[in-house]
Every structure is written in C-alpha cells, then in structure tokens.
Structure 1
Amino acid sequence: MVFYDDDEVPESRPMFLFDWQLDNVQTFVAAANRVNATRLPSWLKRRPPDMTARSFTEELFEAVETHAGGRLGHVMLGPNTLQQLGAIMAALASLQADSFLQAAAKEAFPQAFCAEYLAVTYCFDTRGNRGERMRFPTLYDRDGQPLRSLFM
C-alpha cells in the first residue's frame, strides 16, 4: 500500500478514486459465479465459482493500476498525468465492455437501464479537497444495443 504526503501530490496530477458500491459488487460477484462463460478476462485470477467481492475488486483494480501513476489500497490511483487519467478511463471502458462482465451484469441486474454501478468514480484535481464525479459514455454492442454501465 502506498501513502502520499500532501507535499508529494502536485495539484496538476489528478487522483482517481473508486467508491465501491459493496452491495452491488456482492450481487454482481454472486451472479458472475453462476454465469457459464467460455471466455474469461485474462486479468481475472480467481475463477468462478470461487470469486469473492474482495478478489474481484482487487484483481480489477490491479488490471487498471498498470495505467496509473501509483496506488492507494483498492480505492485510489495516482498521482496521474493527464495521459494516465485518460488511460485509466479507457481501461475501465474496455473492462466494462467485456462479454463475461456484461453477462454477469445482466444476470445480477436484469433491468436494462438500472443504476446499479459497481463503483462510482471521482477525480480529485487538488489533493482531495474536492472530487468531481466521472461520467462514462454509454457503450454499445455490435447490434447497437446499450451495454450495462458498471462504473460511473
């Protein structure tokens, strides 16, 4: 775990925060453990039916962390350059579009346009004084159908 002193985080290096919605993560993981998947994400180490909420969030965070400037537990990435912040957003969008994660989301949250996010994400531009909620665009499958949003 890395901790940052206020003097070490310049204001021009944004931090990226995950506010995990633990009830939703647990519901999602229970569904993921039931999904019959032929192709699992390569970053997923603990496979169904043995996934836990903790293993899932940790492994997802590790997959995204490779794009960041640092890490604090499994809730914050940074300090980041603007390029790293963009790469984090792109990585989350890519993960969100994964067929296994989408199948688990459909199983866990059957309503097409529900607001059951796994994490609400924020960007802190100035040492955590004020966070700005991130917004991810709606993604679509090949047939033009909207994908389930896992992150906000």
Structure 2
Amino acid sequence: MQMHEKVKRKLAKQSAKRPAKRMKSSQYPRPQAFHDRLVGVFSFDNAIPVINEYLASIWIDADNRGFLLNWNIDNLKAFVATANDQLPANAPRWMQTPPPHMTANTLVDDIVRVLREDAGGGCGRVLLAPNNMAQYGNIMGKLRDVQSENFMRVVGQVAFGKVEQHLATTYNLTENQAQQSVRNHITISLNGSRLFE
C-alpha cells in the first residue's frame, strides 16, 4: 500500500515539473472558413458536406435548432428581373442593393443578413445555426416580415402572377446531419403573399 502512495507522489511531482501541454485551439475551422467555402452556393443540397462539417463543430438539438434555406435560383432570377423595373424608393430599408442593381446574389445576401441579426451563427447563405428557441422564432418572424413587405408582395405578384412560387424552401434541423432536416411550414402573410415555404 505504501509503495502505491510513493508511486502516486512521484508521478504527481513529475507532472508538476512538466510544462502543461498546450491544447489545440480547435480541430474545426473558424465559422468564416465555412462561409467562404459556400460563396455562390444557393442550394443546401449542394452544401451538405460543408454544412455537416460545420454542424459537427456546434451543438444542435431540439433546443438549439438549425434553420436551413434552399434557394430556388430560377425563381430568384425571375423575381430580381421584375424587381429591377421598380422604383428604388419603393425598396425596403433592409435592402442594401436596391433596384435597378439587384442580382440573385445581392437579394439573397440582403435577406440572409436580416435573418442573421437574430441567429446564433451561420454557414453561408443556407444555414443559420445554432439558434435557441427564441432566436429560431425570431428568424421565422423576420422571414414573414420580409415576405410581407409591400415591395416584395408587388414584385412577387408581377413576377409569378397567380401561381405561388417560392424564393426559398426552409427547413428546421435538430440533428447534426443536414439530411435529417424537416420542412418548415411558413404561414402566408396577412397580405396574402408567401415567398418562402
């Protein structure tokens, strides 16, 4: 028994003399590195490998959800073509690139920037995560506000007519694999428009 105590003391002295081993800051890239790898990506299907890598670096569960956006590039282009015919003064205040200079890229970046104000983090244009329940609810509310803007409603009606078309389909994620996401059901805004589903 005494031998065991001597060995324990000897090991304790040795470890006290040894300099502490420095821990690596992280085995994962910084959030900006994930964002940079997704520049120009509109479809979360095309971003799944990067998204899953990002999800492995954060905590995702029912209380810390991910919010995925799968942008429809054809609908974005049709929307932007119509939007660029509108008066710049009619554009919403959150829109940093107003008509006639809008592109699909600038529109998506403006919308994601607005949503990111309430998000706990994000990865490119396709994922806002992690989000506590309040943040997640705020993102949903902001998205409803964006689609309720008079400018967005008018442009959507001119671009798509009576056919309901969406700029993006949204998903909710409570697992650390993007493939496990479940479609959201965003309600139609009070003015009858629904640009996001």
Q: TM-score, normalised by structure 2?
A: 0.69
Give the Å deviation of 1:5.
5.2
> Shift of the alpha carbon at 1:67?
0.7
Query: Partner of 1:121 in structure 2?
Result: 170
1:16 and 2:63 matched:
no
How far apart are the structure 2 equivalents of 1:85 and 1:94?
14
- Please list the CA deviations of residues 20-56 of structure 1 after superposition, one character each: whole Å capped at 9, or x if unmatched: 0000001001111112364321111111011000011
- Taking CA–CA contacts closer than 8 Å with sequence separation of 6 or more, which of the two structures ends up with the larger relative contact order? 1
Shift of 1:138: 1.9
CA contact 2:60–2:66 (8 Å) conserved in 1:
no
Question: What is the alpha-carbon distance in structure 2 between the residues aligned to residue 134 and residue 2 of structure 1?
Answer: 28
Which residue matches 2:160?
109
Question: Where does residue 32 of structure 1 map in the other structure?
Answer: 83
Structure 1 residue identity aligned to 2:139: I
User: Are 1:151 and 2:196 matched, yes or no?
Assistant: yes
Do the aligned partners of residues 139 and 10 (structure 1) sit closer, same or farther apart at CA in structure 2, a change above 3 Å counting? closer
Distance (whole Å) between structure 2 residues aligned to residue 71 and residue 94 of structure 1: 20
CA distance in 2, matches of 1:2, 1:151: 28
- Structure showing greater Rg: 2
Query: SS at the partner of 2:67?
Result: strand
Contact 2:65–2:136 (8 Å) recurs in 1: yes
**CA–CA distance in structure 2, aligned partners of residues 7 and 32 of structure 1:** 38
* Counterpart in the other structure of 2:136: 85
Root-mean-square deviation over aligned CA pairs: 1.5
Q: Percent identity?
A: 30
SS of corresponding position for 1:15: strand
SS at match of 1:77: strand
Q: Which amino acid aligns with 2:83?
A: A
Q: What secondary structure does 2:185 align onto?
A: coil
Displacement over 6 Å in runs of 4+: none
Question: Residue type of the partner of 1:98?
Answer: E
Residue 132, structure 1, aligned to residue 132, structure 2? no
Give the gaps of 5 or more residues in structure 2: 1-31, 35-53
Point out where structure 1 has 5 or more consecutive residues left out of the alignment: 142-146
Query: In the comparison of the two structures, how many residue pairs are matched?
Result: 145
